[in-house]
Amino acid sequence: MYDPQRPNRSKPRRLAAWLFAMLSVSSAAYAAPSALPGEADAGTTQWRPALHYTPQRNWMNDPNGLVFYKGLYHLFYQYNPEGNAWGNMSWGHATSHDLLHWSEQPVAMRANDTEEIFSGSIVVDEHNTSGLGTANSSPLIALYTSAYKAGSGHRPGTQAQSLAYSTDDGKTWRQYARNPVLTLNPESKNFRDPKVSWYAPGGYWLMTTVVADAQVVKMYRSNNLIDWDFLSDFSLPGIPHQGALWEMPDLFPLPLDGDSRQQKWVMIVNVNPWSIAGGSGAMYFVGRFDGRTFTPENVAPPGSDPSRYQWLDHGADYYAAGTFANAPDGKAVTIGWMSNWDYAERIPTTPWKGAMALPRVLALKTVDGVPQLTFEPVLQYESLVGVGSTTRIKELSVSSRVRELGQLTRGVVQNIEVTLSPHSAERAGLVVRGSANGDVGTRIFYDTTNQTLTLDRSMSGETGFSNAISKQHIVNLPLVNGKLHLTVVVDRNSVEVFAGHGRTVITDLVFPSAHDNRVSVFADGGTATFSDMTITHLVAAN
């Protein structure tokens, strides 16, 4: 995102956005409860997620410093402590025991007169390789990007990697005295987003970082997290997306098909714009890593369009995704920012802007002869679903019509499971967050001719706040024995569709009113069957 030349950050566009925002205030605020006299305005509560993390107030973007330590998950994030727009970038902080119920903590690191604190990561320096720990406590070490301002001793706008450490389990942070620990020569305006992990086979720390506008991941190694040596670059031949930025890289191993002898490496590269759903998105590559060089396998030929690449999510709102350090059982657990730089700054939520997608577990499976990531909500989410009140529908066939489900299924925070058999229908699926008259609703449907799954948010409530908000997100997905399993996570401001038992996810923000709470099933041009359907109301996690 951060690029002085970014078109949507230019002054005229911002002015237009501001004017537009002022004009659209009446419509954006129509469903918001009005504040009682003498009470602070709670803002757009109808869009405050119940299951997804949001800060109480102000702007949030990328997840940073994801680490599991002493039984707590830490989520740090790009945060503006001063306002509800991108700026004064600092690290906000929240903690959780289960990745679903989060407690907001004091701001961990603040922008100051000479630098902003851009994205980065945290590791547990168990053996005190940095020497920054104390006799009783291993330090937590954060590597982050210093985005320099005038007076910093660096050319304003340049970026370098800095270190901060905590000896009180992540509560307070001290910046290392001799920052930055890694810079380019000459200094770059796009050198950022260090993600650090322990490379066990070599016995050293590994850092991936990017020169965002050169579309390159740069890898380094270190014995002490302070002195870094260059290893190699990862880029693509004939870069398919000139002008796009590469941001927030992450490199980690996963067993293929659950077989620990068949280990592969996954490289996540967040790319903006040029994503599969338009704007920003999370791309990944699977390959080999020998301690120095990452070699991807099955890369699309130069000149391919985004559909030939692999994506963590096929919706518009999943960016800056990375994995937790030290996650239990060595699992790859991710959190993504549920937004898109195409319109993130215009989203009409107050007094906060920005939410995190549901935490997911990644695994690697061979599908159609190619290793691919699979995605499931974290296990703790199942416990949440397990305690909700549920309507069960064993089997329901629908012929060329929309059928609204019973009153008990109405809700705005719910989990829906269904096995869809489209049979003779041309299209068949669900409508969630539907209005009484059918004018509003988010449609999730299978197209049998094209063998695609679509999330259509063209009628999902407010969309007028930005003309960059894309409407339909489509993914190729063959049926298995004529069926498709869907898990749909509905929240006040989002719909996430996990399809085909983890094969693909579509995540989109939606902006319906609180009254749009109906669930329907439908089939066009034929008959479809919905089996083993459960609609479960979820109790707010936040």
- Shortest Cβ distance from residue 509 to ligand FRU (Å)? 16
What does the alpha-carbon distance between residue 511 and residue 187 come to, in Å, rounded to a whole number?
42
- Shortest Cβ distance from residue 147 to ligand FRU (Å)? 7
Say if residue 186 is preceded by a cis peptide, omega within 30 of 0. yes
> Site map for ligand FRU, 483-512, x if CB under 6 A?
------------------------------
Looking at 28, 143, 236, 248, which residue binds ligand FRU (CB under 6 A)?
248
Question: Nearer Cβ to ligand FRU, position 80 or 494?
Answer: 80
Residues 251-290 that bind ligand FRU (CB under 6 A): none
Looking at 80, 119, 130, 183, which residue binds ligand FRU (CB under 6 A)?
119
- Shortest Cβ distance from residue 366 to ligand FRU (Å)? 31
Question: Nearer Cβ to ligand FRU, position 228 or 318?
Answer: 318
Question: Nearer Cβ to ligand FRU, position 78 or 188?
Answer: 78
Residues 129-158 that bind ligand FRU (CB under 6 A): 145
- Shortest Cβ distance from residue 347 to ligand FRU (Å)? 15
Residues present in the chain in total: 542
- Shortest Cβ distance from residue 426 to ligand FRU (Å)? 39
- Shortest Cβ distance from residue 344 to ligand FRU (Å)? 9
* Single-letter code of the amino acid located at 231: L
3-state SS class at 20: helix
What does the alpha-carbon distance between residue 115 and residue 154 come to, in Å, rounded to a whole number?
10
Pairing of strands 216-222, 204-211: antiparallel
Residues 40-99 that bind ligand FRU (CB under 6 A): 61-62, 78, 89
Q: What is the DSSP string of 80-148?
A: -TT-SSS-S-EEEEEEESSSSSEEEEEEEE---SSEEEEEEEEEE-TT-TTS-S-SS-PPEEEEEEEEE
- Shortest Cβ distance from residue 469 to ligand FRU (Å)? 18
Nearest-CA neighbor of 336 among 326, 316, 322?
Answer: 322
Q: Single out the catalytic residue among 41, 62, 233, 290.
A: 62
Question: Nearer Cβ to ligand FRU, position 405 or 469?
Answer: 469
> Site map for ligand FRU, 186-215, x if CB under 6 A?
------xx----------------------
- Both tokens of 226, joined, read 């302070």
Binding residues for ligand FRU, rule CB under 6 A, total 14
Q: Residue 302: exposed, middle, or buried by beta-carbon count in 10 A (0-12, 13-18, 19+)?
A: exposed
Looking at 68, 73, 76, 118, which residue binds ligand FRU (CB under 6 A)?
118
62 has catalytic annotation: yes
- Both tokens of 275, joined, read 């994503």
- Both tokens of 182, joined, read 């890694």
Rg over alpha carbons for the chain, rounded to the nearest Å, is: 23
Q: Residue 237: exposed, middle, or buried by beta-carbon count in 10 A (0-12, 13-18, 19+)?
A: exposed
What does the alpha-carbon distance between residue 102 and residue 88 come to, in Å, rounded to a whole number?
23
Using CA atoms, how far residue 36 sits from 26, 41, 42, 353, 502, in Å, is 18, 8, 10, 23, 45
DSSP assigned state of 178: T
- Shortest Cβ distance from residue 244 to ligand FRU (Å)? 12
What does the alpha-carbon distance between residue 120 and residue 283 come to, in Å, rounded to a whole number?
18
Question: Nearer Cβ to ligand FRU, position 352 or 498?
Answer: 352
Looking at 75, 181, 276, 320, which residue binds ligand FRU (CB under 6 A)?
320
Question: Nearer Cβ to ligand FRU, position 194 or 502?
Answer: 194
Pairing of strands 159-166, 140-148: antiparallel
Q: Residue 326: exposed, middle, or buried by beta-carbon count in 10 A (0-12, 13-18, 19+)?
A: middle
Question: Nearer Cβ to ligand FRU, position 218 or 503?
Answer: 218
Number of residue whose CB is nearest ligand FRU: 1
Question: Nearer Cβ to ligand FRU, position 100 or 219?
Answer: 219
List the catalytic residues: 62
Binding site for ligand FRU (CB under 6 A): 1-2, 61-62, 78, 89, 118-119, 145, 192-193, 247-248, 320
